[in-house]
Chains A and B, each alone.
Chain A
Amino acid sequence: MSERPVWWQAVEAAVGAPLAVDAVGGGEAVIDVAAERLLATVSALRQAWPALHLTAITGLSIGGEVVLLYHLLLDGGLTLRVRCPGAPPNAPSLAPSWPAVNWYEREAHDLLGVAFKGHPNLAPLLVARDWTGGPPLLPVEGER
C-alpha cells in the first residue's frame, strides 16, 4: 500500500509487530491478529475511532483450523483475522465490553464450536437447543 490507512498506527501499536496487510476483493484490508492480542487491538481501535462499527464475524474452517474474521468499518472496511487454537477452538470474547459482538460470537459458537472465553452467555442462538449433531460448519468425517 502506497499510503498508509488512518488506522495503521493504532493497530500496529496494539498488535505489537509490523503489520502485514492483505487486500481482499471488495477493496478491504485484512490483517492478522494473534488471539491473545485481539482485545488490546479492538480496544485501541475503539479508542481511536469511537464510531467503530463491527459489521460481522465470519467463522471459517480451513484445513482443520478455525479462523475468525472480524469485519470492521471505520473510514473503510478493515478485517481482523484471528486463528483460533485448541480443541475445541477458543478465542477471547469481546462481548463484555462491546454488546454488538454478543450474538455474532454466539453464532460462531453455534456453527463452528468456538469457545469464547469470558462470554456472558454462549447459549445456542441459531441451532435448536436439543441439536446434538455438532457445529454444522465443521467438516464431518467421510462427508465433503
Chain B
Amino acid sequence: MSRVTVPIGPQHPLLKEPIALRLDVVGERVVAAEIEIGYVHRGLERLLQGRTFQQGVAVVERICGICSHAHTTAYCQAVEALIDVDLPPRAAAIRTLLCELERLHSHLLWLGVLSEAIGFTTVFMYAWRDREQVLDAMELISGGRIAHGANVVGGVREDVSPAQAREVLTMLRQLEMQLGLYQELVERDRSFHRRTRGIAVLSAAQVQAYGVVGPMARASGATLDIRRSAPYAAYGWLEVPAAVTNEGDVWARAWTRVQELQHSIDLCRTLLSALPAGPLARRVAERVQAGEAVSRVEAPRGELFYYVRSEGERTAARVKARTPTLPALLAMAELLPGLQTGDIAAVVAGCDLCMACADR
C-alpha cells in the first residue's frame, strides 16, 4: 500500500483552535506525524515589555480563554515575589477558589470535547451544560465568564459575599449529583472503554523525556502537581488529593480528570465554608524594584510557569510564560504514529490542547 500524506488544518473541525497536523498514512495506519503551531501567535510576551506591571495582568489574562485565571495567578505571584508582598489570607482563599472553579470548567470542557470526538454526543451535551453552571458561578463572583479580572498584583479585586457563597455551594451540589454520570462513564461504559482503553499509551519514560505535566502526566503515573509539591495561594492550608494512575491511555486521562472534578468540588467547599476575614489586597507601588522572579502554578492542564524581570522601571523588562500545552504537543507527535486513523480524533482531543496558550 502506498504512503499518503494527509494534511489536517490549520483550520479543521476537531479543535476550535488552529493547529496543522501532517499525517503520513499507509492504508488506515498513521506511520508518521508532524505538528506545526504558531497560527495564533500574537506576540504577547513582546507586548508585555511595554506595559506596567498592573497592565500586564490584563494582557496575560488574554493569553487563554480557558485558564485565564491561572495565568493571572502565576503572573501576579511572580510580581508579588519581586516586590516581596504577602497575599492577605482572604485574597489567597478567593484566588484559590477561582483556580478550582476554573479547573472544574476546564475539565468539563475537555470531557465534552473528547466525548464529541469519539461520537458520544450525549456526554458532550451534559458536560458542556454542567460547565455553564460553573461559568455562571465564576461570573457571579467576578462579573466575567472568560476573562475574570479577579486578580490584581497584591491580592484580588472581587470579594465573595455570603449570598454568593451560598449560590456557589448550591451549584457545587448540583454538579456533584451530575458527577456520578461521568464516574459511571469512565468506570463502566463499554462504548467509552472501546474508544479509549489502550489507545495512545504514554509511558512514564515518555512523560519524563518530553516534560509532560498535569493530568496527562498523572494519567501515566507521574506525581507532579504544583498544588501539592510547592503550595501557593491558599493550597498550603488545603489537602489536595493525588489523582494518579498508571495506564497512560486516553481512558486514564479521562479517569484522572473525573477524579479531579470531585477533588475540586471538595476544595471549593472547604474554601467557601471558611473564608478568612480581612482585606482583599495590599497596596503596592507602581514601580517595581529591579530583580527577577519565577512562579509556578497548577493550571487545569498542568504546571504553568512565569518569569518576570524588572529593571526598576514602571514597565516590565521581560515576561515569559511557559504553558502546559507545549510539552503535551511534543508528546502527541510521538503518540500519533501507529494509530488507526479512526483514533486520531480521540487522541488529539484527549491531549487537552490549548493553542492560544501554546502560541501566545
Which of A25, A56, A59, A102 has the most chain B CB atoms closer than 10 A to its own CB?
A: A25
Residue contact B307 to A56, C-beta cutoff 8 Å: yes
B107 within 8 A of A: no
Q: Are A50 and B208 in contact (CB under 8 A)?
A: yes
Interface contact B293-A26, CB-CB below 8 Å: yes
A contacts with B: majority SS: mixed
Would A26 and B77 be within 8 Å (CB), given that A60-B309, A100-B330, A111-B45 are in contact? yes
The answer to whether B38 touches A127 (Cβ under 8 A) is yes
A-B contact number at CB 8 A: 92
Interface of B is mostly: mixed
Q: How far is the CB of B76 from chain A (nearest CB, A)?
A: 12
Q: Smallest Cβ distance from B213 to chain A, in angstroms?
A: 8
Report A-chain residues with C-beta under 8 Å of the C-beta of B305.
55-56, 71
Within 8 Å of chain A (Cβ to Cβ): is B320?
yes
Instruction: With CB as the reference atom, state the residue of chain A lying closest to B322.
Output: A56
The interface residues of chain A lying within 8 Å CB-to-CB of B82 are 25
Within 8 A of A (CB), among B321-355: 322, 326-327, 329-330
A6 at the interface (CB under 8 A from B): no
A-B contact pairs, 17 of them (CB 8 A): A24-B292, A24-B294, A25-B292, A26-B295, A54-B211, A55-B322, A58-B320, A71-B322, A73-B296, A76-B230, A77-B230, A79-B294, A99-B210, A100-B210, A111-B46, A126-B41, A127-B38
- Determine whether A53 belongs to the interface, using a CB cutoff of 8 Å to chain B: yes
A128 at the interface (CB under 8 A from B): yes
Asked if A136 lies at the interface with its beta carbon under 8 angstroms from chain B, I say: yes
Say whether B202 faces chain A, with CB atoms less than 8 Å apart. Answer: no
**A55 CA to B327 CA in the complex, in Å?**
9
Contacts of B327 in A (CB 8 A): 100
Q: Kindly identify, within residues 52 to 99 of chain A, every residue whose CB is under 8 Å from any CB belonging to chain B.
A: 53-56, 58-60, 69, 71, 73, 76-77, 79, 98-99
A136 to B41, CA, bound (A): 12
Q: Output the least CB separation between B70 and chain A (Å).
A: 15
A25-B81, A26-B296 are known; give 18 further A-B pairs, CB within 8 A: A26-B77, A26-B293, A53-B211, A55-B305, A56-B305, A71-B305, A77-B230, A77-B294, A79-B294, A100-B327, A103-B326, A104-B322, A125-B37, A126-B38, A126-B359, A126-B360, A137-B45, A144-B50
With A50-B208, A79-B294 known to touch, is A99 a contact of B330 (CB < 8 Å)?
yes
How many Å lie between the Cα of A128 and that of B45 in the bound state? 16
Closest 7 CB pairs of A and B: A25-B293, A25-B81, A100-B211, A56-B322, A58-B320, A26-B294, A126-B41
Question: Which residues of A lie under 8 Å from residue B38 when comparing CB positions?
Answer: 124-128
How distant is the Cα of A102 from the Cα of B322 in the complex, in angstroms? Answer: 14
Task: Check A127/B41 contact, CB under 8 A, given A55-B296, A60-B309, A100-B330.
Answer: yes
Q: Name the B residues within 8 Å of A71 (CB-CB).
A: 294, 305, 307, 322
Chain B residues with a Cβ closer than 8 Å to the other chain, count:
39
A125: chain B residues within 8 A (beta carbon): 37-38
Question: What are the residues of chain B within 8 A of A127 when measuring CB–CB?
Answer: 38, 41
Which chain A positions have C-beta within 8 A of B137?
A: none
Assess whether A28 is interfacial by the CB under 8 Å rule: yes
Q: List chain B residues, Cβ under 8 A from A13.
A: none
> From B49, which residue of chain A is reached at the shortest CB distance?
A137
Asked if A51 is at the interface of the complex by the 8 Å CB criterion, the answer is: yes
List, in ascending order, chain B residues with CB within 8 A of A53's CB.
208, 211, 213, 224
* Distance (whole angstroms) from the CB of A55 to the closest CB of chain B: 5
Contacts of A99 in B (CB 8 A): 209-210, 330
**Within the assembled complex, what's the spacing in Å between the Cα atoms of A77 and B81?**
15
Contact check, B330 vs A102: say whether CB atoms are below 8 A apart: yes
Q: How far is the CB of B195 from chain A (nearest CB, A)?
A: 28
Closest B-chain residue to A137, C-beta based?
Answer: B46
For residue B78, CB closer than 8 A to chain A, the reply is yes
Interface string of A101-114 (1 = CB under 8 A from B): 01110000001000
Q: Nearest CB to that of B329 among chain A residues?
A: A103
A69 vs B306: C-alpha distance when bound (angstroms): 12
Residues in A whose Cβ lies below 8 Å from that of B197: none
Residues of B within 8 A of A137 (CB): 45-46, 49, 318
Q: Which residues of A contact B292 (CB under 8 A)?
A: 24-25
Which residue on chain B has the smallest CB distance to residue A77? B294
Chain A residues with Cβ under 8 A from B211's Cβ? 53-55, 100
> B-facing mask of A22-50, CB < 8 A → 1, else 0?
00111110000000000000000000001
B236 at the binding interface (Cβ < 8 Å): no
Partner pick for B330 among A28, A69, A103, A111, CB 8 A cutoff:
A103
Contact with A along B27-40 (1 / 0, CB 8 A): 00000000001100
**Whole-angstrom distance between the alpha carbons of A43 and B322 in the complex?**
23
